[in-house]
Structure 1
């Protein structure tokens, strides 16, 4: 996988958003082992979470929170509720911040992810930060918070001359991408459709091959939009990942 760094420009920007109060009534479990190897891949399409900057600070979401994949990339602050469990560490004063990278489907072990329950299936290291793993499942309170990411938004271009599939990742701010458009140096903006997770698709046109590519990204929660101009140079290849050299990202 090749990373290339290009320039970007701001289309519009909104003021940083305020986090909401904690919501109670959710539960958390864990999957994977101490090395978090079981968390690689996932329904959001981010692939190798270590190579792509997500690490172990991740969670799978139940149907109630996953929003058919539109919550992918969103960040949550989570605390164990000590008044409801003996397994919480530090009397529930510890909190973690995790990025949504996967889906916990209905029918999973214990039924915790069945609708309409809000549930977080955390990586093992994150669960172990909040509670003794022997507890298995814990009551938690949670809230959406701004994502803090190193570097700029990244675009991985996959597909072929007639079918573009772009994975948008490492998104800061609200983190949840709601809309993506693509533009070549000699074309107008073309709206892309979400294919799965945070993979966005377009049927071409083929003439985009050989053009420098720009991307317009809009977030869901804040509606903030950024334009990443000529991020991929004219000689880009399928399978490459591009990031602007200024490190432009959401706030």
Structure 2
């Protein structure tokens, strides 16, 4: 009986050690970390972020954006939204800032490098300057649903580097909810099969020699919509797609 009790306790301890990281990194619970900010002449984001968002990455979410380290997840973390709040009660508000991931970067043991606008938003009114003087602050964060009031469906843009008709790259923007786009495929009509696009970098997916007719796309979604689910955009790219043009899908991720 004693041996059985000891084995049961060791089994419980092992299970606790396995589950503890999952519990600590639950999307509903705050995780402790550190954050800093980067220089910006206008306090907005940077158009040269690793996610490939360009000018969209500078102004999305009113410039409340961030570069992240391990949360970048080889680009699948691009476009994710987080609530980040610093923990010094003298200078920090309880709500903190909601930021969109637009870049990859590592600081002084930090998970977040915030735009100046986002960093200031963590502060109580009239205490932002004192908060900036710290440079690096202790924070807690959690993933939250991305909310885009004017864009209820998934949207993507034909990347400026695309060359009709030989090379197609798309940039995925406005991913609502707590969802990641983990794969993109095009329908190959002549072969009657889906053909995978390559993640070029960040939120940019590309393919050489894409289909010549209307292009139907489908996206693999993981997150609040489920894990590994495929959703099809019924409204395809037109025959003569153009670089720089954005397209709405009929895919609602809320």
Matched, 1:76 2:82: yes
Aligned to 2:121: 129
Match of 2:238 in 1: 233
**Structure 2, unaligned runs of 5 or more:** 1-25, 124-130
- 2:149 is the alignment partner of 1:147: no
Q: Distance in 1 between matches of 2:253 and 2:177?
A: 5
Unmatched segments (≥5 aa) in structure 1:
1-17, 106-110
Conserved in 1, the CA contact under 8 Å of 2:44 and 2:59?
A: no
Q: 2:56 aligns to what SS in structure 1?
A: coil
1:192 touches 1:201 (CA, 8 Å); kept in 2? yes
Give, in whole Å, the separation in 1 of the partners of 2:41 and 2:142: 26
| Aligned positions of 1:1-251 closer than 5 A | 19-24=27-32, 26-33=33-40, 35-49=42-56, 53-62=60-69, 64-82=70-88, 86=90, 88-90=91-93, 93-105=94-106, 111-112=107-108, 117-131=109-123, 132-149=131-148, 150-151=150-151, 152-158=153-159, 159-160=162-163, 161-183=165-187, 188-205=193-210, 208-209=211-212, 211-221=213-223, 222-223=226-227, 224-244=229-249, 248-251=251-254
8 Å Cα contact 2:83/2:99 also seen in 1: yes
User: For 2:62, what is the secondary structure of its paired residue?
Assistant: coil
Report the structure, 1 or 2, having the larger helix content: 2
Note the alpha carbon deviations across 1:136-180, whole angstroms, 9 max, x for none. 111000111111123132222242333321111111122421111
| Contact 2:84 2:142 (8 Å CA) reproduced | yes
Point out the more displaced range, 195-204 or 50-59. Answer: 50-59
Q: CA deviation at 1:37?
A: 4.3
Instruction: Go from structure 1 to structure 2 and tell me whether the alpha carbon gap of 1:213 and 1:230 turns closer, same or farther (over 3 Å shift).
Output: farther
Q: Using a 3 Å threshold, how does the CA distance of structure 1 residues 147 and 37 change in structure 2: closer, same or farther?
A: closer
Q: CA RMSD in A?
A: 2.5
Tell me the secondary structure at the aligned position of residue 63 of structure 2. coil
What TM-score results when the alignment is normalised by the length of structure 1? 0.75
Which string of whole-angstrom CA distances, capped at 9 and with x for unpartnered residues, describes residues 98-157 of structure 1? 11100114xxxxx41xxxx45101110110011322221110001111111231322222
Please identify runs of 4+ aligned residues in structure 1 that moved more than 6 A: none
Higher RCO, 1 vs 2 (CA within 8 Å, ≥6 residues apart): 1
Residues of 1 paired with 2:66 and 2:57: CA distance?
A: 14
Q: Highest CA radius of gyration, 1 or 2? A: 2
